[in-house]
Structure 1
């Protein structure tokens, strides 16, 4: 098990908490090899201690003792997306409000383009603690980088855990914009970004993800020296 990967998982957990994307609930993970991933400790993510052990979880099979039941969502993503390297399950304010309304945000600004063709939606308020529900949620995710669950948070997947953390921030901002559009009364007439324009805008060049990761992790006690 890589000490560096465990450190990244812990740094990600604390970054998500500092950004207000998680509270008592939420979890993140990073793929360690084709058949396994590391998940953060089963505690509020802001309370994860430097050096605390993460748990190695198989992509297929029962969850290890002590691992939260909704980590099944991570399993399904890693099993069905060979390119997925990181997963975040989070419950941020604007996203929770929009999901409770039974809506997903439209692609109205640049951050939203990373979820083209649209954010997935799972219309069930029940906790995802069995394999059947986990399969349903990830099927509802479709080809998107994220899926929202009505009244029950969201899941995003990235090529790395660093990317998944940034995508969680992007989805929260996407929902913030959507709620503002709805509050203005202009949502129906406001422009949205088309699929072709979204594909061009959703670039990874220019350290797009790296810069946001640096911003979100600033000051973490386990960051390597500059």
Structure 2
């Protein structure tokens, strides 16, 4: 049996870590699929991420309906998470954020958002932008129902990241550590990319598809765990080693030495 209390505690940690790194502020959210019931996911009630506690974690169906105890009002954009889990059986965790250095890339097309540093490779080289107005007209830009969520998930497709015009982004991952790592380094990449563009009119040299593949292959074990342990300490949260240390989740192909 899965320790659901541990999953919920890790979800609290993920909220605190993302807030610490300014990926989320009073808004934005992170969720995790229920491993015992893939048609359900865990997400906090509507609360600032840095304030989330284990009692706030709520279970939802893909359609955004509460399962069991409801500790408070849910996030209006829980449909982002449900729609991605519905469309992507491989996804185990989702982050929606308004990462401040990423948002400028959602409203223009000349300066492409691409990875430029090896640690940022998980965002991939193919990063689409979803514009809610294309299908739903003039709105408040929030994803407040499953039709909107499914349209966003369609744009995301098999990728890790999709930008949301004038809003933020959605990030999908194969684990909670994975999606937190990607979200943090996506914000770092955006800040560095803006600086690179400001250096002059010359072309930047982003990572190639082959370089992204080489950097992300086998990274699910040691590298993610090393970051997670450090981030737990930064936000004064307990660190529980993942199963990679015992063998099953550890990739012996990880030669990054990071």
TM over 0.5: yes
Task: Tell me the equivalent position of 1:144.
Answer: 159
Task: Tell me the equivalent position of 1:184.
Answer: 199
Q: Quick one: which of 112, 117, 139 aligns to 1:109?
A: 117
- Check conservation: 2:114, 2:125, Cα contact below 8 A: no
Q: How far did 1:149 drift?
A: 0.7
Normalising by structure 2, we get a TM-score of 0.78
Matched, 1:165 2:172: no
CA distance in 2, matches of 1:132, 1:156: 19
Task: Tell me the equivalent position of 1:25.
Answer: 27
- TM-align CA RMSD: 2.2
- Check conservation: 1:92, 1:153, Cα contact below 8 A: yes
Closer, same or farther: CA 193–179 of 1 in aligned 2, 3 Å: same
Closer, same or farther: CA 225–84 of 1 in aligned 2, 3 Å: closer
Q: How far did 1:81 drift?
A: 1.3
CA distance in 2, matches of 1:81, 1:136: 13
Closer, same or farther: CA 172–189 of 1 in aligned 2, 3 Å: same
Normalising by structure 1, we get a TM-score of 0.88
Closer, same or farther: CA 104–42 of 1 in aligned 2, 3 Å: farther
Matched, 1:45 2:49: yes
Task: Tell me the equivalent position of 2:10.
Answer: 8
CA distance in 2, matches of 1:211, 1:53: 27
Matched, 1:91 2:98: yes
Structure 1's unaligned 5+ residue stretches are none
Closer, same or farther: CA 146–63 of 1 in aligned 2, 3 Å: same
Number of equivalent positions: 223
Q: How far did 1:109 drift?
A: 1.7
- Check conservation: 2:127, 2:162, Cα contact below 8 A: yes
Deviation string 1:71-107 (CA, Å, 9 cap, x unpaired) is 1111111111112111111112211232244554123
Matched, 1:193 2:207: yes
CA distance in 1, matches of 2:228, 2:120: 17
Structure 2's unaligned 5+ residue stretches are 133-139, 242-258
Partner secondary structure for residue 9 of structure 2: helix
Partner secondary structure for residue 56 of structure 2: coil
